[in-house]
Amino acid sequence: MRRPSAALLHRLGEERADRGRIIILCAGLFALLGLLIMGGVDVTSIQLARVHMLDAADAAALDAANAADKGAIYRGGVGSTVALSSDSVQVDARRELAAQELPAHVAGWAVVGGTGTPDGRTAVVRVSGTVHPPLFGGLLRAVGADVTITVQAKARSDVDQ
């Protein structure tokens, strides 16, 4: 029986070493792929939370646009739009937002500065909230980095005459 040559044994040893490197490379690529997928899930979750917050701000702005400033109505009557005050917009926006259920992964939200009426006819509502992504949220909280989203909605109630 013939014994394998030294060159053949050397080549077989190199092939085994290459297989080990390929396994490590594949494991690294699968780990990277897993991180990318998890990051995509978190980004999607944050985007969905933003959309839900925008819906809540829209509802609050619509409610606040109907919050007539009674003093302005008594002084000047009802014109082509509902007369608003920044105070009435803020009060109604806070009440409407408090009545809504927090969306998934939103830890809390509030009506923030910039809410009011710039012209006495348009209700502007700004809502800011903290979002905790489902997969990396704990890691972000551990390092003290929260995801904060601020959205703005506007509404105006016109009076048909």
| pLDDT tens, N- to C-terminus, the chain (161 residues) | 567 666 655 666 666 666 677 888 999 999 999 999 999 999 999 999 999 999 999 999 999 988 776 666 666 666 666 778 899 899 999 999 999 999 989 999 999 999 999 988 899 999 999 999 998 888 888 887 889 999 999 998 877 65
Percent of the residues in the chain that have a pLDDT greater than 70, as a whole number: 80
Contacts of residue 48, Cβ cutoff 8 Å, sequence gap at least 6: 103, 104
Residue ranges covered by each domain of the chain? 6-156
**Burial (CB count <10 Å: 0-12, 13-18, 19+), residue 53:** buried
What's residue 91's pLDDT?
93
